[in-house]
């Protein structure tokens, strides 16, 4: 079976075998509903609550602040729509490069009477310090991602949270890409809410969490049995939640080793990219240790990704959720990049299992592929 070298860890990560091991009993014999009063139900309830503690510990939160969801997209929607439903329509401020699962709900809220304010990026891909704009507009809700899923640029959420709170806003941060790559501390960030996802940290698909200050009132997206503090009804996905908890436990134990390895591999990769003449986006910003977003002039990103796939390397031309709509990256356009350059963007994201030889072999394949595409371009002119 053909198995390309996997260099797309920002899209999803492979399930850790140790995570699968703790999930298997809940996919086989441990079948209780956590809301049931009998022994089977109590056992699964205990497993869910243990996972809640593990997730909370990973981000310095209290277990009662963790609301399990199906993933980061639901967590983002729950905060934005849930908080908006508890407030009078006002100003909603989001970063100009937010993930679609923040941007699209924001557009829906705009159609319902909210004023949408997009906070601009600077040339390095970081949300600019616009405390003047926030003080003037006084948004009721602010949502800015901790780290960008394409460039890896890290935003100064601590400062933004202070500014937002001073303006009377609830502030939320999408930390889906940040968790596992940089320290994520709910208390230190100063936000009211934080979104997390299991499958970005070697846990299973189908589990995520909204970490929520209990003083913030939300209306649920899904009403029914009253699970998750009444904010997310429905029988819990016990196996996935247990896996999410275990992935958080492993992350806490192995964070330093993982981060050092990813940083070293990214530096090796970008040294090779620079030698090939690539443009690396957000290179001067504080970035995730595993992420490189780059382009070569005159080479289409989708074409390059396809050829690299056939050469045995799985990479991305941007966010996985946007792959069906190959428009120029919204993030790069918000950075005032030329649309033609933006169309050439390719993302490499290394992970826990990536080896030095994987990066070295990738650079050799990239050199060959870029050379071939440049020759084809020259022939077509």
The catalytic site residues sit at 321
Place of tokens 């901790």: 146
97 close to 334: Cβ distance less than 8 angstroms: yes
Three-state SS across 223-241?
A: CCCCCHHHCCCCCCCHHHH
DSSP 7-20: -BTTT--PPPHHHH
Tokens, residue 213: 């200050």
Task: Compute the distance between CA of residue 377 and CA of residue 381 in angstroms, rounded to an integer.
Answer: 6
Give the burial class of 38: count Cβ atoms within 10 A of its Cβ; 0-12 exposed, 13-18 middle, 19 or more buried: exposed
What is the C-alpha separation between 68 and 336, in angstroms, rounded?
A: 37
Q: Which of 126, 157, 124 is nearest to 142 (CA)?
A: 157
Q: How far does CA 54 lie from the centroid of its chain?
A: 19
Closest CA to 289 of 264, 320, 257: 264
CA atoms within 13 A on the CB side of 95: 35
HSE, side-chain direction, 13 A CA sphere, residue 3 = 2
Residues sharing a CB contact under 8 Å with residue 64, sequence separation 6 or more, in sequence order: 214, 229
Q: How far apart are CA 76 and CA 102, in angstroms?
A: 6
């Amino acid at each position: 079976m053909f198995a390309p070298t996997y260099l797309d860890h920002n899209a999803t990560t492979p399930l850790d075998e140790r995570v699968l091991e703790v999930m298997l009993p809940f996919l086989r014999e441990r079948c209780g509903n956590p809301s049931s009063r009998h022994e089977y139900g109590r056992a699964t309830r205990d497993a869910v609550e243990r996972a809640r503690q593990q997730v909370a510990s990973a981000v310095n939160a209290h277990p009662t602040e963790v609301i399990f969801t199906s993933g980061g997209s639901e967590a983002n929607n729950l905060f934005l729509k849930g908080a908006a439903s508890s407030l009078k329509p006002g100003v909603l401020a989001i970063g100009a490069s937010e993930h679609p699962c923040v941007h699209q709900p924001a557009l829906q809220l705009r159609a319902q009477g909210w004023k949408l304010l997009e906070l601009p990026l600077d040339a390095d891909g970081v949300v600019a310090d616009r405390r003047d704009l926030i003080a003037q507009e006084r948004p009721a809700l602010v949502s800015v991602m901790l780290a960008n899923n394409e460039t890896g640029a890290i935003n100064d959420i601590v400062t933004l949270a202070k500014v937002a709170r001073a303006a009377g806003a609830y502030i939320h941060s999408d930390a889906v890409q940040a968790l596992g790559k940089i320290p994520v501390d709910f208390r230190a960030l100063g936000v009211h809410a934080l979104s997390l996802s299991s499958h970005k940290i070697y846990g299973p698909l189908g589990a995520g969490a909204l970490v929520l200050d209990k003083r913030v009132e939300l209306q649920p997206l899904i009403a029914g049995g009253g699970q998750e503090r009444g904010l997310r009804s429905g029988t819990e996905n016990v196996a996935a939640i247990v896996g999410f908890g275990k992935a958080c436990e492993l992350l806490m134990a192995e964070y330093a080793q993982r981060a050092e390895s990813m940083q070293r591999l990214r530096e090796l990769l970008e040294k090779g990219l620079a030698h090939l003449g690539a443009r690396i986006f957000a290179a001067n910003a504080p970035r995730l240790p595993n992420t490189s977003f780059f382009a070569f002039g005159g080479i289409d990103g989708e074409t390059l990704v396809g050829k690299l796939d056939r050469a045995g390397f799985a990479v991305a031309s941007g966010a996985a959720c946007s792959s069906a709509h190959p428009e120029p990256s919204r993030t790069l356009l918000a950075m005032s990049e030329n649309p033609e350059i933006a169309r050439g963007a390719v993302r490499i994201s290394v992970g826990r299992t990536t080896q030095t030889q994987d990066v070295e072999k990738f650079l050799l394949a990239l050199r060959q592929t870029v050379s071939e595409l440049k020759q084809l371009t020259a022939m077509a002119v």
